[in-house]
Homo-oligomer: A and B are copies of this chain.
Amino acid sequence: MNDLKQYIETNQERFLDELFSLLRIPSISSKTEHKPDMLQCAERWKELLLAAGCDFAEVHLTEGAPIVYGEKMIDPNAPTILVYGHYDVMPVEPLEMWKTPPFEPTIIDGRIYCRGANDDKGQSLMHAKAFEYLLRTHQLHCNIKFMLEGEEEVGSKSLYTFCKANKDKLKTDVIVVSDTSMIDSNTPSITVGLRGLTYLEVEVTGPNRDLHSGLFGGAVANPINILCKMVASITDEKNRITIPHFYDDVLTVSDEERALMAKAPFDVQAYKTAIDVEELCGEEGFTPIEHVGIRPSFDLCGIWGGYTGEGTKTVLPSKAYAKLSMRIVPNQDPDKISALFQKHFESIAPKCVKVKVTPHHGGNAYVSPIDMPAYKAAEKAFEQTYGKKPIPTRSGGSIPIIAGFDKILNTKSLLLGFGLEADAIHSPNESYRLDHFFKGIETIAWFYNYFSHPSLVTPH
């Protein structure tokens, strides 16, 4: 594989053109108006898989967004890798905070700015390019399957169905996912834990119409006032969640594992400076790494009600709304947590308002074993390209389908991510570093190589 770096350099312009062709499609899964874009993006992925060398690729239509599947089978006895990624992206609001058009990839200072540049178009395309290199240089020694979905950001509903219906087709030794981050540019890491998620929407109704806040204010319940009181009570002064039985299923992480986590390089001052906050604000008794790695959280993702336009309007509105997510940890069940929230929220509603709770998507947390062959092969690949062993970390993010793969396909997943926190995924000005994109391709090619030749991987 001496020509790997050269191959990447020679083809880098084409690789970027291919990535940009995906990035220009505004495949926002949460908005129905983007349905045609989902299909277009899936079709483009199919073309790219075939161009990279897949023998077979198809766009599978679903009730939601299409699923792209492609494969290159070289030998039924060779190891098989299934690459999972997603082509859907988050909404781009608030638009006014973007410095470049959100769907026009723009390179500035070594970074590609675009929605999806990292999450997950940039990260998943690295696999297709690593595969292409190995195939064209006759160094591919494993079977490769690609599966790309368009509903990752909204709960992967169709993919669960697809997996259940296609267990044979999806048979693999490992599932590899590039949709996570490294500790920093010089510190490779492999994500071995993901939080789960439950997402709900609440509506609080006071009077049946907007009222004059002078004529009624003080006598009639204001739904915004009440909503704020209700959600404020969901966390206490120690930043613990107050929903009864919320923590019942949370596994206690051993002091030993917590000590290990504490060894990961983490500069709290740099962390605070990067996001410009004077203080952090996590659950009492835990560190920031633990807050996002092993503890659940409660975040209001959106809130609205009343007059939000320019200037002033005195009004006692009829309704107030919030969207909220709870990140959950291994052993917590999203449906149970969702039900606990709903029951609690309804129980704390004063009689002067009516409340409606609508659960959206959810997903289980996941813990990945660090003694499986794929993990070892990945360790070796990182040593090859970064000159150092990756650190196992737990991410606060969620990829709900990963726990689903374990359950439905009985297959473990390896989270081989090349992002950085600074990439601002889900935020305005999402970006992905060019050097991470190219070094990711290199590392993935080495990973495929070592996974195909377990004898090359010496035990650590």
Contacts and interface: CB of A to CB of B under 8 A. Distances in A.
A307 B296 contact: no
Interface stretch (A52-60, A69-77, A161-169, A206-214): A206-214
Interface stretch (A133-141, A308-316, A335-343, A406-414): A308-316
Nearest to A155: B312
Contact of A217 (B154, B211, B213, B327): B327
B325 A217 contact: yes
A308 B321 CA distance: 9
A300 B225 contact: yes
Interface string A233-260: 1010000000000000000000000000
A101 interface: no
Contacts of A93: 307, 309, 313
A216 interface: yes
Interface residues of A, number: 102
A212 B397 contact: yes
A304 B308 contact: yes
B218 A90 contact: no
Most B CB within 10 A of own CB, among A218, A300, A304, A317: A218
Contact of A396 (B30, B218, B277, B291): B218
Nearest to A181: B215
B306 A215 contact: no
Contacts of A315: 90, 301-302, 426-427
Contact of A225 (B212, B220, B276, B299): B299
A232 interface: yes
A197 interface: yes
A305 B303 contact: yes
A352 interface: yes
A203 interface: no
Interface string A19-40: 0000000000111100000000
Contacts of A395: 214-215
Given A199-B312, A312-B323, A208 B301 contact: no
A218 B325 CA distance: 11
Contacts of A398: 214, 314
20 contacts: A30-B313, A32-B310, A207-B275, A208-B277, A211-B426, A211-B427, A212-B425, A214-B397, A215-B292, A215-B397, A217-B325, A219-B280, A220-B280, A225-B299, A225-B300, A228-B228, A281-B352, A301-B317, A302-B307, A303-B305
Interface of A: 29-32, 90-91, 93-94, 97, 153-155, 181, 195, 197, 199, 201, 206-222, 224-229, 231-233, 235, 275-283, 288, 291-292, 295-317, 320-323, 325, 327, 350-353, 360-361, 395-398, 421, 424-429
